[in-house]
Chains A and B, each alone.
Chain A
Amino acid sequence: DTGVSQNPRHKITKRGQNVTFRCDPISEHNRLYWYRQTLGQGPEFLTYFQNEAQLEKSRLLSDRFSAERPKGSFSTLEIQRTEQGDSAMYLCASSFGSHTGETQYFGPGTRLLVL
């Protein structure tokens, strides 16, 4: 299967711990997006990359959050000093092109629970 993959699929952590999620996009896609989805809500945009460059960050992305895409392929999203409010599904998507009008293909998500 050559779709978008995310690891881990589930993560339970204690408040104050750091967590890191990984996203592997579709191989020829140059754009990679991170979203957060809480229960009963639509996905909220966090950040996106074009190749290795991080082009935009949402105000939702506090300084405890950092994302990287070092070689323009896979990406990691790290949350430092997790809080209970960080509990959510974290979604990754990828696309090919130069703007967000292109179709984004989503991974299955990483569900984070902060105790």
Chain B
Amino acid sequence: DSGVTQTPKHLITATGQRVTLRCSPRSGDLSVYWYQQSLDQGLQFLIHYYNGEERAKGNILERFSAQQFPDLHSELNLSSLELGDSALYFCASSERGYGYTFGSGTRLTVV
């Protein structure tokens, strides 16, 4: 157990739907990062939150949004889902940038 908890582990949904992925960071970590991995490709950075504030955006679609709550957990919202959004979504947490701890991911399948 890495200390970073992601739920759900698996999600199957239809095109056009909306889903929410949840991440609880490791205790004490203020930063949460979201990544997308499609078809065993590289890790595509989506967004970074630090202590509730958005710090950086990567290749995140406008249909996707995220937030970090006062208890530091984070949610990634994916809407108007398309087949191409099927992927593994990872969150990672860190105290600073010196090393991330990743969760085990949420596998999203859009049918």
A binds B: no
